[in-house]
């Protein structure tokens, strides 16, 4: 088979590949980590590149037939959330001088180096999850693993974690071998793919993990460190160790008042309860809130519109990096929809006047975009209402809403309530808590007692399988509209 050389610009990165592979595969082979939310199916349009003759093509749909120069869009630094506002007091057990905590998100990875003696954070680092080049959502990656690509997915994450380990160690002036403990949180799919566990059971009823229990493994088998590697337990197929980390960080089983915890991403993981009882669920919000499946959608990077407002008859917007707008991230999508509702350009059914709205030269909202958002927000709203009903409480009885994760940190609560994703009665009770999952990982990294506490929390939290409830579909359909009314 004939071999051809592909040169990627900027950067003059060259790779030799066999005839017939796609330009997307060539980018991956060259180590460039392309953006391919749809997993190379040609449906998202995010892998668009320019060939040397000036033609714009989708890299995933363009086969290599000759030597080629390919011009890529300029990479933009992602706005990755690493901080938390949920910090419980850290009381290390003093077994380790240095410890590592990792939060493995579907989109991003975060690493924290801690003193095992004082609990102080010594360094942190983050990057995009390199698995994103194989698909934005966990289902795409699970399918790839089931088709034989599991080791590829596992290796690219382990390589990224090793690089983050080297980075934080270097910042602190130590070597990775000085680190003797690590803890990791992630959703159930990320957990299984990282540890080489068959994710197949996550795709068939009752959608439960192959492995639920907490795990302690030799760190040397996974990272360039020594000692123990702790993986927090999973609650269910789509309620994983990241949710458990949030429960640890918020001391959820100590809460006196009814509290709702939401971590909104491709899946919306939620826990409702207090010190007496807790119920968790997951609802398929889809990738719209992370910029995928949106015509001008993108991650929260420079050039993304992240906030939009309607004041005095005018719509204004803010762009990350203060430069020219080139797309719309999840928080911007939420804000823009809420603003257009206020302006009467979108009605309560979701119909967009004229079928499209041009915010600025680089950003247009389409009717299809609005429908994608309705699917995401309807699923989350239905989940909240059914959790409350199962617990025997009214939505209005919820006293606090903790919003965890990047989307919850950057979104405007008033906009989420205006479109009905969060019941409007709860608007004044919303508290963003940042990367609480990472905070839970930190606690478990420096303390065996905290790790044991994570086991107890996971074991004592009930799970509600929304898909098994006959009324879920009705609630979901009722929640698709943009009514501000609560149940």
Phi, psi dihedrals of residue 345, rounded to the nearest 5°: -85, -25
Burial letters 90-113, b for 16+ CB under 10 A, else e: bebeeebebbbbbbbbbbbbbbbb
Residue 12: pLDDT band with limits 50, 70, 90: confident
Q: At what angle do helices 241-250 and 188-195 cross, to 10 degrees?
A: 120
Phi, psi dihedrals of residue 271, rounded to the nearest 5°: -135, 130
> Can you give the pLDDT at residue 254?
96
Q: Take residue 68 and report the two structure tokens written for it.
A: 């080629």
> Can you give the pLDDT at residue 85?
60
Q: Take residue 343 and report the two structure tokens written for it.
A: 């302006």
Q: Which residues pair with 219 in a beta bridge?
A: none
Spatial separation of the C-alpha atoms in residues 104 and 376, rounded to whole Å: 22
* Residues 6+ away with beta carbon under 8 Å from 65: 4, 19
Residue 486: pLDDT band with limits 50, 70, 90: very low
* 3-71 under CATH 3.10.20.30, yes or no: yes
Where in the chain do CATH 3.10.20.30 domains reside? 3-71
Where in the chain do CATH 3.30.420.480 domains reside? 98-250
Handedness of CA 436, 80, 107, 341 (dihedral sign): positive
Spatial separation of the C-alpha atoms in residues 453 and 439, rounded to whole Å: 14
| Omega before residue 10 within 30° of 0, cis | yes
| pLDDT at residue 357 tops 70 | yes
Q: What is the CATH number of domain 98-250?
A: 3.30.420.480
- Residues 81-131 pLDDT 10s: 555 565 567 889 999 999 999 999 988 899 999 999 999 999 999 998 999
Is the CB of residue 150 less than 8 Å from the CB of residue 69? Answer: no
């Amino acid at each position: 088979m004939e071999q051809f050389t592909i040169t990627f610009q900027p950067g003059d990165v060259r790779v030799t590949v066999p005839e017939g592979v796609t330009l997307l595969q060539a980018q991956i082979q060259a180590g460039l980590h392309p953006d391919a939310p749809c997993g190379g199916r040609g449906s998202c349009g995010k892998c668009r590149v320019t060939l040397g003759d000036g033609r714009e093509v989708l890299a995933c749909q363009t086969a290599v037939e000759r030597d080629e120069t390919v011009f890529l869009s300029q990479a933009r630094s992602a706005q990755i959330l690493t901080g938390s506002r949920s910090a419980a007091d850290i009381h290390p057990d003093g077994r380790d001088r240095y410890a590592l905590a990792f939060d493995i998100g579907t989109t991003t990875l975060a690493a924290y180096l801690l003193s095992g003696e004082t609990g102080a954070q010594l360094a942190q680092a983050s990057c995009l999850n390199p698995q994103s080049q194989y698909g934005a959502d966990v289902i795409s990656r699970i399918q790839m693993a089931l088709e034989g690509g599991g080791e590829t997915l596992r290796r690219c994450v382990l390589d990224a974690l090793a690089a983050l380990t080297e980075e934080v160690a270097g910042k602190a002036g130590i070597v990775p071998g000085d680190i003797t403990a690590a803890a990791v949180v992630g959703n159930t799919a990320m957990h299984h793919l990282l540890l080489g566990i068959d994710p197949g059971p996550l795709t068939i009823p009752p959608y439960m993990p192959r492995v639920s229990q907490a795990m302690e493994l030799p760190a040397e088998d996974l990272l360039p460190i020594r000692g123990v590697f702790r993986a927090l337990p999973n609650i269910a197929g789509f309620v994983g160790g990241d949710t458990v980390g949030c429960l640890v960080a918020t001391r959820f089983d100590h809460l006196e008042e009814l509290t709702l915890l939401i971590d909104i991403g491709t899946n919306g993981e939620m826990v409702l309860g207090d010190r007496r009882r807790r119920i968790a669920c997951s609802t398929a919000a889809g990738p719209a809130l992370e910029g995928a499946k949106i015509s001008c959608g993108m991650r929260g990077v420079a050039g993304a519109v992240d906030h939009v407002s309607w004041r005095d008859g005018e719509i204004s917007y803010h762009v990350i990096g203060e430069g020219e707008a080139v797309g719309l991230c999840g928080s911007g999508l939420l804000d823009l929809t809420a603003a257009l509702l206020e302006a009467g350009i979108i009605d309560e059914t979701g119909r967009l006047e004229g079928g499209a709205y041009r915010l600025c030269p680089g950003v247009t909202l389409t009717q299809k975009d609005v429908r994608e958002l309705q699917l995401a927000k309807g699923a989350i709203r239905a989940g909240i209402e059914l959790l409350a009903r199962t617990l025997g409480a009214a939505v209005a009885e919820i006293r606090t809403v903790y919003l965890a994760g990047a989307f919850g940190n950057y979104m405007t609560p008033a906009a989420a309530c205006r479109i009905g994703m969060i019941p409007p009665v709860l608007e004044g009770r919303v508290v963003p808590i940042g990367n609480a999952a990472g905070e839970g990982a930190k606690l478990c990294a420096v303390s065996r007692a905290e790790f044991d506490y994570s086991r107890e929390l996971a074991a004592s939290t009930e799970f509600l399988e929304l898909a098994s409830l006959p009324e879920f579909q009705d609630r979901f359909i009722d929640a698709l509209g943009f009514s501000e009314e609560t149940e």
